[in-house]
Chains A and B, each alone.
Chain A
Amino acid sequence: MSAASVLAIEIPYWGQSILRVVGGLAALLLIAGTVVYLYLFKAVSFMQSRLGPMEAGPYGSMQLLAEVGKWLQKEDLFPDNADKRIFKLAPIIVLVSTFLLYLTIPWGPDAFFLDPATFNTGIFFTLAVSSISVLGILMAGWSSANKYSLMGGLRAAGQLIAYELPMVLAVVGVVIQAGTLNLQGIVVAQNDGSIFGFEYLGNPFVLTQAIGFLIFVIAAQAELTQTPFDMPIAESELVAGYMTEYSGFRFLIFFIAEFASAGAFAGIASVLFLGGWGLPTAWGDWTSGNAMNVIGPVLLLTKILLLSFVIFWARFSFPRLREDQLQRFAWKILIPLALGNIAVTAILKVVF
């Protein structure tokens, strides 16, 4: 099933692939733009009792275009000692990792980029591609031939690996409860479910997996290197960490990837914990039909925006942790908590 058969047009496989890539990129850019405008430009300004950009377009809504234009005009600089090929490749790898995250999110019963029917290891694949970005960041840090970049890259690698674990472990609880790795299956399981026979809410796993949700959101915050966990790009210590030597278009790619993956992680969290694109089955039969292909993406987008608001809200409220506090928090608090969560979930799953 794909958009092609919904519209009753047969598109060859290569055509579908191109459509998917273009669609995925469009979703990535749209969500990154929305997140940057709504939260990075506006919400943070409001939280600091100022208005933010107001000149470009109504309420500064065209500011993004101005910023992109500015970045594109900048000189493409390389440090003399940089490993140029690796230096050029690094931001693209980070962006590809984010792009693959977008491909895995299901947006509706038939609205998806990768077919869930043949994609049974969905959440496993998602978590695997999300860690590709570590490679890009390490490459950026190493190839810049700059000690700040290198330290930023190493910090990022340590941090992303440390927080990858609690994230995966938090997801395991959801997977046990849903009984499937398939993202579409997880959405269906949440909206099909009931809480002690009360089925009008479905069973969004945020209720039963509250601890898992908390761990996932905290780990996502760290994976995105947003502020309480932004040691890799700590501007007062490391200039801009692994992005120090990047300018112009390549910096823009890092920038887009950062905010697009904020949207992507919010999307994955919505799919795993908040019921994704679905409505509870008790409200009507929504598993098929085209209505949900329109309502679903809107619902999921709303959840994505709400969750990314939480991410940025925390970002703008809290000061940065110290590097050792960060590692201690991951290894001594989050991981044991996640392991306990798995054990309890497994036991309850067997009991009920």
Chain B
Amino acid sequence: MGLGTGLVKGLGVTFKTMARTIVEGAQTVQYPHEKEAPPIRSRGVIALREENCTVCMLCARSCPDWCIYIEGHKQLAPPRRAGGKPRTVSALDRFDIDFALCMYCGICVEVCPFDALFWSPEYEYSEPRIADLLHDKDKLGEWMETVPAAPELDPGADKKGKK
């Protein structure tokens, strides 16, 4: 009788699921009409805070896909104190991420020592042309608006960490 009971049980599972879907609605969401809010740490798109970037190239070098293109130059900035020497700062000329290559590993976000890169849960940026998936630094900067605030630290966690 093992065979028969198993078959009946299988039919029961599908029938119960069908009844539940009809009565309570489906588990899925009718996507273009209603959207699920992605979890706060979702890896949707990478955002760039340009003023934090020091053109250190750590992200570009750590990227397994080599999908980050950075160009920069040194320039003189006014001295911090009056009478001091002008400072040398690195300015960002180009910061492109090719999302056609990116595999969303997040190593660049982890490795950035100056908090210039962030994950944003935004995911609707598909393009008809693959070349348009290369986001330049302006576009990456625009994604900053969609970056959620950092979650509260757990009680007892080290407060001196990344801010």
Chain A residues within 8 Å of B, Cβ to Cβ = 43, 45-51, 54, 313-314, 316-318
Q: Are B30 and A313 in contact (CB under 8 A)?
A: no
Is B27 an interface residue when CB atoms closer than 8 A count as contact? yes
In the assembly, what is the distance between CA of A50 and CA of B24, in Å?
A: 11
Asked whether, in the complex, the Cβ of B11 is within 8 Å of the Cβ of A317, the reply is yes
Chain A residues with Cβ below 8 Å from B22 are 46
Given contacts A49-B26, A50-B28, contact A318 B7 (CB under 8 A): yes
Complex formed: what's the CA distance from A314 to B7 in Å? 9
Q: Chain A's nearest CB lies how many Å from the CB of B28? A: 4
Q: Which residue of B lies closest to A48 (CB)?
A: B17
- Give the nearest-CB partner of B16 in chain A: A47
Query: How many angstroms from the CA of A168 to the CA of B10 in the assembled complex?
Result: 28
Given contacts A45-B21, A49-B26, A317-B13, 11 further A-B contacts (CB under 8 A): A46-B17, A46-B26, A47-B14, A47-B17, A50-B21, A51-B21, A51-B26, A313-B11, A313-B15, A316-B14, A318-B10
In the complex, what distance in Å separates the CA atom of A47 from the CA atom of B16? 8
| Chain B positions 25 through 44: 1 when the CB is less than 8 Å from some CB of chain A, otherwise 0 | 01110100000000000000
A50 to B30, CA, bound (A): 9
Q: Give B contacts to A, CB under 8 Å.
A: 7, 10-11, 13-15, 17-18, 20-22, 26-28, 30
What distance in Å separates the Cβ of A61 from its nearest Cβ neighbour in chain B?
16
Q: Assess A46 versus B18: contact at CB under 8 Å? Given A51-B26, A51-B28.
A: yes
Q: Is the interface of B mostly helix, strand, loop or mixed?
A: helix
Q: Roughly how many angstroms separate A45 CA and B28 CA in the complex, as a whole number?
A: 10
User: A51 contacts which chain B residues (CB < 8 A)?
Assistant: 21, 26, 28, 30
Q: Which residues in B have their C-beta under 8 angstroms from that of A313?
A: 11, 14-15
Q: How far is the CB of A177 from chain B (nearest CB, A)?
A: 26
A sample of 9 cross-chain residue pairs with beta-carbon separation below 8 angstroms, ordered by A number, consists of A43-B18, A45-B26, A47-B21, A49-B28, A50-B27, A51-B21, A51-B30, A54-B30, A317-B13
For B27, the chain A residues whose CB sits under 8 A away are 49-50
Contact partner of B14 (CB less than 8 A), chosen from A50, A54, A317, is A317
Q: Which residue of B lies closest to A319 (CB)?
A: B10
User: Which B residues lie within 8 Å of A48 (CB)?
Assistant: 17
Q: Among B7, B17, B18, B27, which residue has the most Cβ atoms of chain A within 10 A?
A: B18
Q: Are B21 and A46 in touch, CB under 8 angstroms?
A: yes
Interchain nearest-CB distance for A307 vs B (Å) = 15
Residues of chain A within 8 A of B21, CB atoms compared: 45-47, 49-51
A49 touching B17, Cβ below 8 Å: yes
The docked-state distance in angstroms from the alpha carbon of A47 to that of B30 is 17
| B35: min CB distance to chain A, Å | 15
Residues from chain B with Cβ under 8 Å of A47 in the complex: 14-15, 17-18, 21
